[in-house]
Every structure is written in structure tokens, then in C-alpha cells.
Amino acid sequence: MCGILAVLGCSDDSQAKRVRVLELSRRLRHRGPDWSGLYQNGDNYLAHQRLAVIDPASGDQPLYNEDKTIVVTVNGEIYNHEELRKRLKNHKFRTGSDCDVIAHLYEEYGVDFVDMLDGIFSFVLLDTRDNSFMVARDAVGVTSLYIGWGLDGSVWISSEMKGLNDDCEHFEAFPPGHFYSSKLGGFKQWYNPPWFNESVPSTPYEPLAIRRAFENAVIKRLMTDVPFGVLLSGGLDSSLVASITARHLAGTKAAKQWGHQLHSFCVGLEGSPDLKAGKEVADYLGTVHHEFHFTVQDGIDAIEDVIYHVETYDVTTIRASTPMFLMSRKIKSLGVKMVLSGEGSDEIFGGYLYFHKAPNKKEFHQETCRKIKALHKYDCLRANKSTSAFGLEARVPFLDKEFINTAMSLDPECKMIKPEEGRIEKWVLRRAFDDEERPYLPKHILYRQKEQFSDGVGYSWIDGLKAHAAQNVNDKMMSNAAHIFPHNTPNTKEAYYYRMIFERFFPQNSARLTVPGGATVACSTAKAVEWDASWSNNMDPSGRAAIGVHLSAYEGSTVALPMPPPLKAIDDMPMMRGQGVVIQT
């Protein structure tokens, strides 16, 4: 991931302003340590901090059209750039960068080209012919982006809040799936798929369609000119990503450059569930596996850095971001610049344990819609900023546009969790990859119960955070919390502790408004809390708060749900192209 910063239509084109823009852009250098660029045209500034993943030699930014009248600074990856280049036969490209197509698409189609892009992106485009500009963010907000306004009427754009919070009168998260046009004078939604209106779909479940769509999503993300790997916790989602990558790596350009053996990475406390499961999957797939251990104290010591980089005070995001933050630093030290990760599956398929309590398929489907729409505030934020803190790029195949459309068109009845029928959470995904002839994963991994990242790295991690917060936040502070923090008032000492740190880094009211709030249990939305009256007494984002569902639920809860027996494989399901992985024993 790169870092972009733009100041558009400011009243100051002095050298001092240029120096200030450079200073603010340096706050984003962790995102793009490979090169820096700054373009100025009158009262418009476009700055870029580059992480070179595609065409490292010539893809420096800003990027231009043929006569340099259109200028682009972009953070992202355009997976269909080769196909788009073929459609732009009359255009000459300056670089081999996948993002080089953006300026030319604008020339050809105007502002309505954004939906043609298949990838993740945030970009600012300046048309110097009429001094107009447009800004766009990808469909569900995998890349982070903020917009702000100065007192002089200027518009500010930044990959992270820290690039503009000190210089804007007001700022906010740039909405995913939208673009902003100076000609239109505001935002326009460009991403509006059928599932967005939350009406219940009716497409029958076809396992092979799910399998094919997800394999395609993974394969297109193997586009890279630098060393890469996969994050492998041993859970269903990361294990499927690793398995598919291992099968298809051999025929890729990446394999020719960096070798045919996949590298995998896992983090956890000593003896944690993820470390054990991750190693088992890695051994099964034959990856070069890297285990990173951390202690509770290591994590606590990193909390301030995590909050500064991830820019949130949301409890579950900080819990999960800290291990990922520590792991990203280790991964980058090995020379790896890109990783594939498993975010998004739980939102699409209703994988969180509280979905066991969904009363009907309509409620189930609408909750998945709400969860996907909110991803940019939670898991996308975590995955993007925890890795970008060390110049590492995370790609998330479950959030591929085409795959989301395929999965969200299914009749939600097939996603419903029915233990009495052997259907656990994410059953439709598990069954799609249950292949007897050439197994993607061992059965017990394919049907392993959901662990949230903050739980899977070791249960004592969350318990240690709570204990540390209790030492730093007393009862008197909590009794006045509503007066000190009237917006999103923290209701636990852990939440109060994170909020104090956040406010020190980001004291503006606009900053605190970027963070979501509301009741939650096991990562539910506030609406889903209504599904079970008992949850109101145990409002915690950990999966163990799903009383009566999680096999390691909080002490005092009743667990009545056994793991269902493995399902039979799908008969006569053809394999996708590529080589299987054979491990000799």
C-alpha cells in the first residue's frame, strides 16, 4: 500500500505551503518507503509515498497521460490493468504500473470509468485543462482514505487521518464505493450492486460456482513483482487462501521470479490455537512457514503505536490489530512486501458465532449486508493500516467484487446455521472446498470453529489487556466517563484506556467521529444484539461472548453446541486448473 496526500484549491501556492505539504506527506512514509513524489500545479498539490509492488523500476508517481495534462496519485492495485490497456489502443503508457490506466480511462470515459476498475484503490485525479479534480475509493474500502476541508475552501485528501487532521477544519472517512467530483460539487456512489438494497436474494446454492469464483479471486491477486506470502492462522479463511495460492503459484510470473514454494506467516502467544493450527496447515500444504511469538507484555508495549497507526479506539479492532502489527514488522524484515489475508469471509457468509442466533434468513442476510458495508471501519481498517505501518501490502481475495456478488446472490437459507443438520457457520464455503479426491485442507481444519483473530492468538491476550487497563483506569474515572467522553462513551476500563491514548494523538472532534460505536456482542452490529436477550449482560466483542455457542465460552456460560460431523464431499466436482500439492511422508 502506498500513501497519498492531496491539497486541492488552497489559497496559498507559496514555497512555505509546499514545504508544509511535504512535511505532512512524510507522516505517511511508513506506507510507501520506496520513493516520494510531489506534483504542484498552481494551488493544487498531489503527494505520493510509494510502496513498489508492480513495476518497481518505472512506476513512480504521480502518473500522467500522454501530454501530462491529467495527473494521478493513487494507492492500490488494478488487477485487470492488462485487459484495460488492450481497450485503450490509441493511448501510450509511460510505465508498466497497473495504475497507469487510470488517467487514460478518464480521458476516454470521463468520471464514470471507476466501475471498470477491478481492484483496490484510492486515487486523486487532477485535470489541469480546466483545473477540475476527482477522488475515488474502492468498492468496500479495502484501502483507507480520508477527506477534509480547510477554512480557505480547500479540499484535502489523505490515506490516513494523520496526514490532514492538524490542517483541516473538518474531516471524515471518505465513503467506500463513491467518488467525489469538483464538477459535480460532491459525492456520487459508483458501487451499487444488487445486494446493496438488502432485499433477500434467491439464487440456489451451487458449490462449484463458489469454488470457482473464490479461486479466481485468489489467482488474480498473485500479480506481483516482489516477494510475497500468505497470512496463515490455521482457521478456515486463511487456510483456504493459502491452499489455493499453493496450488496455483507454479504457473505465475511471481513463481518464476521468487520460487515455487509459498511462504506462510502466523503469530500468537506461546501455545495459542492459531500457532498450532497454522503449523498443521503449513505442513499439509508444504509451505515455508514462519512462526512469530509474542508475549502479552510485548503487545501491551505496542498499544500506543497501534492506536497511532490504525487510528481507532474501537476495542475489537485494537485487540486484533496488535498481533497483526507485530507480525507485519517481522514479515517486512524478511524482505516480503505483499501478503494475502482472509478478511471478509465472516461478513459475507455469516461466520461470526452470533449468527447462530439469527431468527430467520431475512435477518441473517440483512446482517451480512450491514457487516460488509461497515468493513471499512473495522477489519479493512485493521488489515490495511496494521500492515502498512511497516510498508507491507495486504490483499484480501474474499472482498473481490465478483466474488462478493456471487456469494451475496445466494438464497440466505443455505447460509443459515443449523447444527441439527450438521451445518455450522460458513457451511456453504466449507462444502464448496470439501473435495475427497484432491483435498484442499484436512477435514478438521475445513470444519474448525470460528476464532476471531484476537482470540486465536491466545485467550490470555484479551485477559491480559483487560488486566492492564484495570491498572490504569480507576472506578472514579469510569464514573465520569460520560462527561469526559460524551460521544461513544467507553463502558469498560479497556475501552477507556484506548480512548485516552487516541485522544492524545487525535484530539479533534472530527477524529473521534470517524470511529464507530454502539452495542455489540462477538462483533455483531447493534441490530443483531436484539437476537438474544442474554447478550445484553455480556457486551464484549470477543467470540467467547457468544454464550452457548463458542466451545471456549467465558466462564459461567453454558456450551451446548457440539462440532458437527464432517460432511460428505461433493460428488463429481471437477478441480480448477493448476497443480496440487503433494506432501511425501
pLDDT in tens, 340-386: 999 999 999 999 989 999 999 999 999 999 999 999 999 999 999 99
Q: What is the rounded distance in angstroms from the CA atom of residue 585 to the CA atom of residue 368?
A: 42
Q: What is the rounded distance in angstroms from the CA atom of residue 174 to the CA atom of residue 123?
A: 11
By CB neighbour count within 10 A (0-12 exposed, 13-18 middle, 19+ buried), where does 257 fall?
exposed
Q: What is the rounded distance in angstroms from the CA atom of residue 317 to the CA atom of residue 372?
A: 15
Of the pLDDT bands very low, low, confident and very high (cuts 50, 70, 90), residue 523 is confident
Residue-wise pLDDT tens digits, 215-246: 999 999 999 988 999 999 999 999 999 999 99
Report CA-CA distances (Å) from 451 to 156, 164, 232, 421, 527. Answer: 39, 36, 13, 22, 22
Q: What is the rounded distance in angstroms from the CA atom of residue 193 to the CA atom of residue 416?
A: 22
pLDDT of 540 higher than 70: no
Of the pLDDT bands very low, low, confident and very high (cuts 50, 70, 90), residue 522 is low
pLDDT of 13 higher than 90: no
Contacts of 337 (CB under 8 A, 6+ apart): 51, 52, 53, 226, 227, 228, 391, 392, 393
Among 304, 370, 308, 343, residue whose Cα is nearest residue 452: 343
Contacts of 489 (CB under 8 A, 6+ apart): 481, 482
By CB neighbour count within 10 A (0-12 exposed, 13-18 middle, 19+ buried), where does 343 fall?
buried
What the block records as the C-alpha cell of 542 is: 470477543
Of the pLDDT bands very low, low, confident and very high (cuts 50, 70, 90), residue 550 is low
Domain 3-189 has CATH 3.60.20.10: yes
Lowest mean pLDDT among 147-161, 205-219, 553-567: 553-567
- What's the pLDDT score for residue 524? 81
572: left (phi over 0), alpha (psi -120 to 50) or beta: left
Question: Taking residues 534-552, what's their average pLDDT?
Answer: 62
Which residue type does 93 have?
Answer: F
Question: Taking residues 94-116, what's their average pLDDT?
Answer: 93
pLDDT of 585 higher than 50: no
What the block records as the C-alpha cell of 231 is: 497470512
Question: Quick one: DSSP state of residue 418?
Answer: B
Contacts of 384 (CB under 8 A, 6+ apart): 1, 142, 143, 144, 394
pLDDT of 200 higher than 90: yes
Among 72, 66, 20, residue whose Cα is nearest residue 41: 72
**Among all residues, which ones are annotated catalytic?**
2
How would you list the strands of the sheet with 338-340, edge to edge? 288-293, 263-268, 228-231, 338-340, 393-395
Q: Please report which helix (H) or strand (E) contains residue 208, including its range.
A: helix 207-220
Q: What is the rounded distance in angstroms from the CA atom of residue 480 to the CA atom of residue 482?
A: 6
Which CATH number does the domain 207-458 belong to among 3.90.1150.10, 3.30.390.10, 3.40.50.620, 3.30.2020.30?
3.40.50.620
Which residue type does 504 have?
Answer: R
Which residue type does 145 have?
Answer: L
Strands 228-231 and 263-268: parallel
Question: Quick one: DSSP state of residue 442?
Answer: -
Q: Are 32 and 48 in contact (CB under 8 A)?
A: yes
pLDDT of 573 higher than 80: no
How many Cα atoms are found within 13 Å in the side-chain-facing hemisphere of 543?
A: 23
Looking at every residue in the chain, the average pLDDT score rounds to 90
- What's the pLDDT score for residue 543? 56
- What's the pLDDT score for residue 549? 62
Which residue type does 391 have?
Answer: G
Q: What is the rounded distance in angstroms from the CA atom of residue 579 to the CA atom of residue 546?
A: 40
Helices (H) and strands (E) in the chain, counts: 21, 17
Among 440, 493, 514, 544, residue whose Cα is nearest residue 211: 440
Question: Taking residues 411-419, what's their average pLDDT?
Answer: 96
pLDDT of 253 higher than 50: yes
Hey, how many other C-beta atoms are within 10 angstroms of the C-beta on 514?
Answer: 19
pLDDT of 208 higher than 80: yes
What is the 3 state secondary structure string of 60-89? CCCEECCCCCEEEEEEEEECCHHHHHHHCC
Question: Quick one: DSSP state of residue 539?
Answer: -
- What's the pLDDT score for residue 551? 57
Which residue type does 480 have?
Answer: N
pLDDT of 570 higher than 50: no
Q: Where are the domains of the chain?
A: 3-189, 207-458
Residue-wise pLDDT tens digits, 418-471: 999 989 999 999 999 999 999 999 998 998 876 655 566 767 999 999 999 999
Residues belonging to the chain: 585
Question: Quick one: DSSP state of residue 410?
Answer: B
Annotated binding residue at 341?
yes
- What's the pLDDT score for residue 555? 43
540 vs 313 pLDDT, higher one: 313
Contacts of 360 (CB under 8 A, 6+ apart): none
∠277-278-284 over CA atoms, to 5°? 90
- What's the pLDDT score for residue 538? 66
pLDDT more than 70, % of the chain? 89
Residue-wise pLDDT tens digits, 299-333: 999 999 999 999 999 999 999 999 999 999 999 99
69 vs 525 pLDDT, higher one: 69
554 vs 231 pLDDT, higher one: 231
Residue 63 backbone dihedrals phi, psi, to 5 degrees: -105, 155
Give Rg (Cα) of the chain. Answer: 23
- What's the pLDDT score for residue 576? 30
Residue-wise pLDDT tens digits, 125-137: 999 999 999 999 9
Annotated binding residue at 342?
yes
What the block records as the C-alpha cell of 561 is: 453446541
- What's the pLDDT score for residue 568? 39
What the block records as the C-alpha cell of 404 is: 462478493
